Amino acid sequence: GENVEQHPSTLSVQEGDSAVIKCTYSDSASNYFPWYKQELGKRPQLIIDIRSNVGEKKDQRIAVTLNKTAKHFSLHITETQPEDSAVYFCAASPGNQFYFGTGTSLTVIP
Amino acid sequence: GAVVSQHPSRVICKSGTSVKIECRSLDFQATTMFWYRQFPKQSLMLMATSNEGSKATYEQGVEKDKFLINHASLTLSTLTVTSAHPEDSSFYICSARKVGFRDSGRGYEQYFGPGTRLTVT
């Protein structure tokens, strides 16, 4: 099955700085890679996603890059704000199912 | 929109009893729903894929006789934790995918329910 690794597990940045979270996956059949933000006690919310036919996607302060050859993808958040503080999960999908990374707890220090 | 609800939001039960959790897609149809389990400060672990009108597909290591899944309609899937034990205490989250949703890059997204906090005493 698919195995997704995510780093770092915790990340603290100053407000305004950038944050980068990296994930690797094992199944070459994975073709969809979403990123979810989860606040404490709440449901995961999709923040950005990328399909395997695209190398990069950007949505305002958030961008995702994908390297299919190396089987890794990254989330980039620029100009971080305190409200960006949350746990972020990457996922890889080889079909219907999503397999999630272990999560990154991001803290943005005002 | 794409709203998924879960009921109950919290449940406490005694060891040895069974608990049923409902997952509903409120404004769309979902042939496929998914059940996840999340321990505190940990990731979402996929337990099973719930298929409308057919048997669920369980991930390796998940006991199908303990976690019974029924997907009786296009808007409802239920997870029953049978003979619950304290180690079953966890946060259970469901998700659903839309039927026939076509867009240039979408149609892959899963919409998550708010989760159910199960505590077994």
pLDDT at B20 over 90: yes
Return d(Cα B75, Cα B13) in angstroms, integer: 26
Name beta bridge partners: B38. B44, B91
Taking residue A95's Cβ as centre, other Cβ atoms within 10 Å add up to 12
**Whole-Å CA distances, B38 to A15, A18, A27:** 29, 28, 23
Searching chain B, which residue's CA lies closest to the CA of residue A35?
B109
- Return the pLDDT at B100: 54
Among the partner residues B41, B49, B114, nearest to A43 by beta-carbon distance: B114
So what's the pLDDT on residue B30?
86
B34 and A98 in contact by Cβ < 8 A? yes
Candidate from B41, B110, B115 with C-beta closest to A98? B110
Closest C-alpha among B1, B14, B21, B11 to residue B77: B21
Q: Given B46, B93, B115, which is nearest A99 (Cβ)?
A: B46
Regarding predicted confidence, which is higher, A81 or B42?
A: A81
- Cross-chain residue pair A97–B46, CB shorter than 8 Å: yes
Chain A closest CA to B82's CA: distance in Å?
24
Tell me which H or E stretch contains A107. strand A104-109
Predicted confidence (pLDDT) per residue in A51-81, tens digit: 988 899 999 999 999 999 999 999 999 999 9
Convert the pLDDT of each residue in B47-104 to its tens digit: 999 988 888 999 999 999 999 999 988 899 999 999 999 999 999 999 998 765 444 4
